[in-house]
Structure 1
Amino acid sequence: MSPRPDDTTGPSRDATAPGRTRTRSSWTATRARVAAGQQGGALRPTRDALVDAAFTAALVGVALVGFRTDFAGAAWVLPAAVGLLLGILVTHVTSALRLPLAVPLAVVAVLYLLLGGPLAVRRDLVGGVLPSGRTFADLADTSVHGWKRLVTLLPPVDSTAELLALPLLVALLGGCLTYAVARRWRTPYAVLVAPLAVLALVIVLGTLEPAALAVQGAVFAVLGIGWMVVRAARSRSRLQNGSGQRTRQGIGAALVGVALLAGYLVGPHLPGGGSTTRLVARSYVVPPIDVAAYPSPLAGFRRYTEPNPAKLWHTPLLQVSGLPAGTPLRFATLDSYDGSVWGASDRANTGTATAGASFQQVGESVSTRGPGRRTTVEVTVPEGGYGDVWLPTAGTVTGVRFGGRREDELASRLWLNIDTNTALVPARLEGGDSYTFTAFVPPTPATMPASLGVDAGSLVEDVDTGFLDAKLDAWTGDAPDPWAQFRAVAKVMQGEGAYTDGGTKNSVERYYLPGHSIGRLSRFTGLAQLAGNDEQYAATLALVGNRLGIPTRVVMGAIMPASGTVTGEDVHAWVEVRDSLGTWVPVLKDSFLPDRNKKPRELQTKVEDRKVGALVPPPAGLSPPSVLQGPDQAQNATNLKKPPKKLLDPSSWPWWVRWLVFYVLLPLLVLTALYWLVRALKSWRRRRHATRGPTATRVAWTWADLMASARSYGHRPPHRATRLEQARALRGPVDTLPLARRADAHVFGPGEPSDEDAAGFFRAADEVRGDLRAQADLWRRLRSDVDVRPLFSRTAR
């Protein structure tokens, strides 16, 4: 047999010798392929390549349409389109040059870092174009943690956020992998794997509102089936007279029609079709914030009264411009009562009939609309003023933009509940902070409406409020409907009740304690004369409304003064009721709160003391959150007893232990498990094929597997060659020529080899494999152990 043209004796041309010469020859071969591709015009796309590129762009582009509901506006389209086109272009060049698939993936990663700055993360750019170190850090962080942030942010996400890098990344990878499969595999069906994965990913990251059902359903199906038909036609040999071409076209069109008809008729009855709720990640991912961990502002209401140790009665808390006088400025909407406090809840996760929206992180803009006129309000916190986690807002909030020295810190941690329009900043407002919010602010009602169609239901379901029944019969009188009964109770409170903030230390009013727990409100309603402040009156009226079957909640905030300077004197609590249209109607303090100068009767207090005992505070361990504990210590009842930290709780570990476990030991454990898993699968597959099927086939497969192992150790036996030629190529490291002759004798011999012959050949091949491993260095052995290509090689016939 004549030598092959590329068989030379020089070390730089030895394709099988290990070490540095083999690396140099591989690099030389790569450069030769690149040069040959450039000279031969391989970079010029063929007709089939253009067809595959067009279908890739169309399919992946249709899948990317799902980002429309995630982002506000069309700013996501540019990074997605650029990423898709670049992914296809890079893959075409590397495929034309016959480079490994790892090359276009590496180029895509580099393009993501270089173009992610000007296309998506536009902050901290050098000269407005070049990415900086901060840009690279933001892009890397978004590629890892951005997916979770996207599904926890309130959609649609502000287009100025760095999350625009996600459409760029998905488009780059989707275009690259789809076109790479199309140009490297001839199987018609394999090309749909990557587009389907992109479509599923975008839908999972989307919202409950479909982005485009017709486009992502019917159009995607037609494009996918059409591409498979086109690729299947390439692999068929054309008939002599071409008479079957029209038949195949007709069959393809019929298949598309059947698929569309089946999707139209059967689709609504499949899981996820019809009226079934869409399965998206944001429905199952719990936002990473515990609202119950923050104290209810109503529990600290006496901080704003006079006299009190905080001395906030005349202290400027906020400087507000843009809101008319008399407009309610909301601190927090409190829609959950647990028997101790009215607090803010995350009702989207309660699973009750009254469930509403949850707290979600938002950017500078929020896509909401509400009644009233769109208003821009500027708020500044003076030194020594308002300092809490609850962000004062008004109306239906449509956007918040922070200023001051803590602008980035506050903006990155802004949470909003669009159902209650309650905003939360865990970093807590401080003196010198400022922000501007836009909102739809409705006109402020002067009085309670005489008639109102109210909704039915209750926000208080797990707390026994039966102590109100005895008073309701006397307060409501002959009122015919729930709203009339509610108005009657409010009038009784305002007409017969007295106002007190607890008085001074030696005053009779010291017996009237703060708080609005069941015990405190039972005492409040059990006396002959109601006596308290906004805290007790608003909390009781809200419980009355829910007891009457009207959804009612408490709001803590301030009534805007004409000067725009909010002080403790302007801070109040009021209630809101939900009407039959689902709108929350405010019932302000002037509709149920008695005049501040109307004090409780001293004689009543002494008589009640003799009846039920002095009003003493409950034990310290059971006291409800109140101003006596201080605003920082006043916690919701669900948070009063924190469970002890456990040894297996990572949050209780020192930082260096967490770093060692999660960034060193855990990755090493995962890599080790993957290493042994790959080795075990290859060993199992090798023995399975060597012990099953015809004995001649076992021998042929054993030889092919031995050559695959030799290639993983860095040798280059030719693929399309006889066993003797492959053995001669391996004669340098190991003499496999006798084993090749033995394999040919078993496969081409006159008789079928016995089971003992096949088993003996497998043992001999295993010994040769051991010799190859012994001659390889440590790096070659590790690379061979984790090489997964033998797992996907076809069985030799």
Structure 2
Amino acid sequence: MSIDATASRRARADERNARPSSSRLILPGMPSRDVLVDLAFSLVLVTIALVGFRTGFIGWEWILAAAVGVVLGTVVAHVAVTRSWPLLATVLVLAALHFVLGGPVAVRGDLIGGVIPSLQTLTDLAVTPVTGWKEWLTLLPPVDARGPLVALPWVTGLLGAAATYGVARRFRSVGGAAVAPLVLLVGTIALGTQQPAARLVQGVVFALVLILWLVARAARTRASLQNGAGQRARAVTGVALLTVAALAGTFLGQVLPGAGSSEARTVVRDQLTPPYDVAQFMSPLSGFRRYTEPNSAELYDTEILRVTGLPAGTPIRFATLDSYDGLVWGAADRATDGTPFQQVGTRIAPRVTGTPVTAKVTVPEGGYEGAWLPLAGSTTGVRFDGPRGDDLADALWLNTATETAVVPALVRPGDTYTFQTVLDDAVSTTLPKDLKVASGAQVAEDTSFLDAKLDAWSGRAGSPWEKFVAVAKTMTSDGAYTDGGTANSYEKVYLPGHGLSRLSRFVGSTQLAGNDEQYAATLALVGNRLGIPTRVVMGAIPESGTAIKGKDVHAWVEVQVDDGTWHALLPSTFLPDRNKKPNEQQLKSEEQKVGAQVPPPAGVNPPSVLQGPDQAQNATDIKKKKRNPLDIGSWPLWLRILVLGLVVPVLLLLGAYALIRWLKTRRRRRHATTGALASRPAWVWRDLVSDARSLGVAVPRGATRLEQARAFPASASASAEPIAVGANAAVFGPGDPEAEVATALLADADGVRRELRGTVSRWRRIRSDVDVRPLLERDRRTRTRRSLPSLPSLRRTRGAEGSA
């Protein structure tokens, strides 16, 4: 192509660009087409990325917070680009919006007048973006979207939208615009759950939209060398390729290896083990005799709980005990399917189908006390009331596999709470004739002492379930009930406990004799010995009314059905009548074998020692445990506000300020000491011009170095001209300059910078210091030089272009 033809084409392009479009003639304030394209694609990509929060939150509140954050972040980024704000100013505006609007939009708690953020609201907004991610990942998903954690999607939308649109408008790089939305997408997927939030939208639609955006941005920098027909052909080809890729990803992706396996999805949440150990709490079954008669606790006829809202006869669970270590049945840290105890909020996602019920529980004076929270059914929400409500709600741990909840702050008389639950019919007061049970024992201890009795009790029963039923019926018909009697009673030989030694005597006696503790513990071991997953549950079964007394406390068993659910067998299915006492003659025989032993006080029952007796702790020791001084949660409120709201942000800003200044100094030094000798002085001048522009000096583009030097303020122009002359001499002179030339020019340029900084305000100097545009300065003549054949002609090209 000739030079005249090229010049003619450029002239026509300039005339076309200078001509105002029809939209601008109608609406002078209308943004350009490129602005609208970047705006639309940014909003769509950020929205798709934030869909990943869907499986992590329950409720609609997080959607509103994220949407408002996306809109405000985009607005701030647009204003920052239009007004040429430095990065620091943009960050400060975003931080101000976060603290001013984050309360009413996201947290919505502790507001003054429902709008103005209070001190607690500001604390939540300062702490949650820092430590809230850890809390969110250890909570049971989906998390209630009505608390401080809603600040996470809010701040993600705010910063994500600002970064995506801001980078797209500030920089012409095609691939650079894809970094922010890709980071958002990967982040929300990695922080999500095993259940994909929107596989088609995030996997296919996101890719299509991102590719279209990159193609549109690439078209802006492409030279107009083809006619309209060529452009249409490229468009049709691109659409066809995208369609084929989308169809292949949608249909073929589903049959690829690992696509249907839940283990193939790796998320951060599954790699974290909640830092909590329930084995430190006493097993409630060990203290069963606190509720019997006679007992020094005197809880048998005492009202321990007051429950309203539940149907009559609904079992109330204290704890599900799914681990046996030879000493006690206790609650394991993880159930057999690996489900851990996880911290939950006020709302919990439903896990079963049934009848939804709302119940209220009040602990009267002298009533129930312990770490295990009495609940019923499959809990979908808990709300604590009263003066200790916040302390109890801040640390509520739930195991969804066992439906067991624990409160480290301890439930005490005077506490009140309301829980929502779903009740099903997987409860039997009589033994089912046929039940399709699962297979596989979950007790590792040696229980071979049961084998002899199993053969005698089960008779000719065939299947494991038939043998289990035969054993339960034998317990009901041949067994006797005793709570150990008084100290002078002949029943004193029957001690509490359900360790291997106690249960060996229990089944080895001529007549079974004990209470719920021994019968339920033994039947659960029998079930596991027969290959049926069986566990113990301790709770209460109210006879009538709302008052639950100590005599209503029982222990029962649950067996696993083949569909993975658990079926409860209440005490009436295996426990003998309470009035059926042990045979006195048998009692004398037992007393001769074991001697007269006095049972230990009920108030100091052994704890649940799932990790060994030496590592078990009681609830009192937990309350006195020293806190780590580095734990932010243990700091007083004023210290958290001071450190997280003032000290940390100031240190981060100062660190960023120092880092940017150091990078600029290092970049200038590297340009003056490395690279081709002829290019070093040119870079010294180019860096000086970039810094001058960041200080507000209107240095013309496309002018020669001397013309640019004369555009400097009068106080610095005289000092800048020798640098421009020296750079020209080094670039256009014969041969390569000495290395000391560039370093000498750099020292002179630093002096000019000091003179320029002395002519502007302090605020302008700070803005210049944090301006990152000089760090992104590139040699725009690189593509021109690639086509030049030799070094002499390259130097002539430099001379023709002249300046930065």
Which one of the candidate residues 422, 426, 431 is aligned to 1:448? 431
Shift of 1:239: 4.2
C-alpha spacing 1:781/1:101, structure 2 compared with 1 (3 Å): closer
Q: After superposition, where does 1:495-574 map in structure 2 within 5 Å?
A: 495-574=477-556
1:178, distance to aligned residue in structure 2 (A): 1.4
Taking the aligned partners of 2:397 and 2:373, their CA distance within structure 1 comes to 10
Mapped partners of 2:121, 2:643: distance in 1: 23
Provide the C-alpha distance between the structure 2 equivalents of 1:437 and 1:380, rounded to a whole number of angstroms: 11
Match of 2:604 in 1: 630
Alpha-carbon separation, structure 2, partners of 1:516 and 1:59: 60
More divergent stretch after superposition (376-385 vs 258-267): 258-267
C-alpha contact (below 8 Å) 1:710/1:772 kept by paired residues: no
SS of the residue 2:614 aligns to: coil
The TM-score, its normalising length taken from structure 2, stands at: 0.81
Query: Are positions 1:119 and 2:93 aligned together?
Result: no
Deviation at 1:603, TM superposition (A): 4.8
Deviation for aligned residue 1:730: 8.8
Counterpart of 1:287 (choices 274, 278, 286) is: 274
Counterpart residue identity of residue 357, structure 1: T
Q: Which residue of 1 aligns with 2:249?
A: 263
Note if 1:106 corresponds to 2:105: no
Instruction: Give, in whole Å, the separation in 2 of the partners of 1:148 and 1:524.
Output: 48
Q: How much has 1:316 moved relative to structure 2?
A: 0.4
* Equivalent residue, structure 2, for 1:203: 189
2:41 aligned with 1:55 = yes
Matching residue's letter, 1:70: G
Q: Which amino acid aligns with 2:58?
A: A
Aligned to 2:149: 163
SS in 1 for 2:545: coil
Which residue pairs with 1:302 in the alignment?
A: 289
Offset at 1:555?
Answer: 0.4
1:654 to partner: Cα distance: 9.3
2:443 matched to which residue of 1? 460
Of 221, 225, 231 in structure 2, the residue corresponding to residue 235 of structure 1 is: 221
Equivalent residue runs for 1:111-510 within 5 Å: 111-239=97-225, 241-261=227-247, 263-264=249-250, 267=253, 273-275=259-261, 276-347=263-334, 354-370=336-352, 372-443=354-425, 444-461=427-444, 463-510=445-492
Q: Partner letter of residue 163 of structure 1?
A: L
Q: In the alignment, which of 712, 729, 733 is matched to residue 749 of structure 1? A: 733
Offset, 1:134: 2.7
Q: 1:680 to 1:470 in 2, by over 3 A?
A: farther
For 2:258 and 2:666, the matched residues in 1 are separated by: 39
> In 1, distance between residues paired with 2:387 and 2:777?
61
Unpaired stretches in structure 2, ≥5 consecutive residues: 1-26, 782-804
Name the amino acid aligned to 2:36.
L
| Displacement of 1:277 | 3.4
SS of 1:427's equivalent in the other structure is strand
Report the Cα offset of residue 480 of structure 1. 0.3
Give 1:574-589 correspondences, 5 Å limit. Answer: 574-589=556-571
Instruction: Give matches, 1:1-150, under 5 Å.
Output: 44-150=30-136
SS at 1:536 equivalent: helix
Q: C-alpha separation between the residues in 2 aligned to 1:708 and 1:292?
A: 64
**Alpha carbons 2:382, 2:419 under 8 Å: kept:** yes
Q: How far 1:768 moved relative to its partner?
A: 4.7
Q: Do the aligned residues in 1 keep the contact of 2:693 with 2:699 (CA within 8 Å)?
A: no
Task: Note if contact 1:524-1:532 (Cα within 8 Å) is conserved in structure 2.
Answer: yes
Contact kept? 1:362, 1:414, Cα under 8 Å: yes
Q: Report the more deviating stretch, 55-64 or 669-678.
A: 669-678
CA distance in 2, matches of 1:223, 1:710: 39
Which residue identity is paired with 1:540? T
AA at the equivalent of 1:298: L
Conserved 8 A contact 1:158-1:365: yes
Distance 1:519-1:197 versus aligned 2 partners, 3 A rule: same
Q: Which residue pairs with 1:622 in the alignment?
A: none
| 1:456 partner amino acid | S
Deviations 1:523-556 (A, max 9, x none): 3333333332211211111111111110101000
Matched positions, count: 735
Deviation at 1:102, TM superposition (A): 3.4
Mapped to 2, the partners of 1:611 and 1:404 lie a distance apart of 53
Q: Is the 8 A contact 1:390 1:428 kept in 2?
A: yes
In the other structure, the counterpart of 2:744 is 764
Aligned 8 A contact 1:272 1:279 in 2: no
Deviates more, 1:71-80 or 1:60-69: 71-80
Instruction: Quote the Cα distance in structure 2 between the aligned partners of 1:666 and 1:107.
Output: 17
Aligned to 2:7: none
Moved more, 388-397 or 276-285: 276-285
Quote the Cα distance in structure 2 between the aligned partners of 1:107 and 1:673. Answer: 18
CA offset digits 1:446-466 (Å, max 9, x no partner): 3011121110112223x2223
1:326 alignment partner AA: G
Gaps of 5+ in 1: 1-40, 349-353, 618-625
Question: Contact 2:323–2:610 at 8 Å: present in 1 too?
Answer: no
Q: Give the structure-1-normalised TM-score.
A: 0.81
Aligned partners of 2:729, 2:721: CA distance in 1, in Å?
12
1:4 corresponds in structure 2 to none
Rounded to whole Å, the distance in 1 between the matches of 2:189 and 2:601 is: 48
Q: Give the Cα–Cα distance (whole angstroms) in 2 for the partners of residues 779 and 95 of structure 1.
A: 19
* Conserved? CA contact 2:668–2:687, under 8 Å: yes
Distance across 1 between alignment mates of 2:649 and 2:121: 26
Secondary structure at the counterpart of residue 330 of structure 1: strand
Work out the CA distance in 1 between the residues paired with 2:182 and 2:614: 48
**2:682 maps to what in 1?**
700
Contact persistence 1:475–1:488 (CA under 8 A): yes
How far apart in 2 are the matches of 1:500 and 1:213? 59
Conserved? CA contact 2:661–2:769, under 8 Å: yes
Q: Is the 8 A contact 1:707 1:717 kept in 2?
A: no
Alignment CA distance shift 1:185-1:684 (3 Å) = closer
Deviates more, 1:177-186 or 1:636-645: 636-645
Contact conserved, 1:301 with 1:627, CA < 8 A, in 2?
Answer: no
Q: Equivalent residue of 2:418, what SS?
A: strand
Deviation at 1:700, TM superposition (A): 2.9
Q: Is the 8 A contact 1:627 1:634 kept in 2?
A: no
Counterpart AA for 2:236: G
Whether the 8 Å contact between 2:200 and 2:250 is mirrored in structure 1 is no
Please say if residues 706 and 765 of structure 1, whose CA atoms lie closer than 8 Å, have aligned partners that are also in contact. Answer: no
Aligned AA (1:764): A
Q: Kindly indicate whether the alpha-carbon contact (under 8 Å) linking 1:701 and 1:796 is maintained by their aligned counterparts in 2.
A: no
Taking a change above 3 Å as real, the CA distance of residues 464 and 711 of structure 1, as seen in their structure-2 partners, is farther
The alpha-carbon distance between structure 1 residues 695 and 105, as it changes in their structure 2 partners (threshold 3 A), is: same
CA gap 1:669/1:376 in 2 versus in 1, 3 angstroms: closer
Relative to 1, partners in 2 of residues 1:201 and 1:684: Cα closer, same or farther, differing over 3 Å?
same
The 3 A distance-change label for structure 1 pair 320 and 691 is same
Paired amino acid for 2:428: P
| Deviation at residue 674 of structure 1 after TM alignment | 8.5
Query: Using the alignment, how far apart are the partners of 2:516 and 2:202 within structure 1?
Result: 54
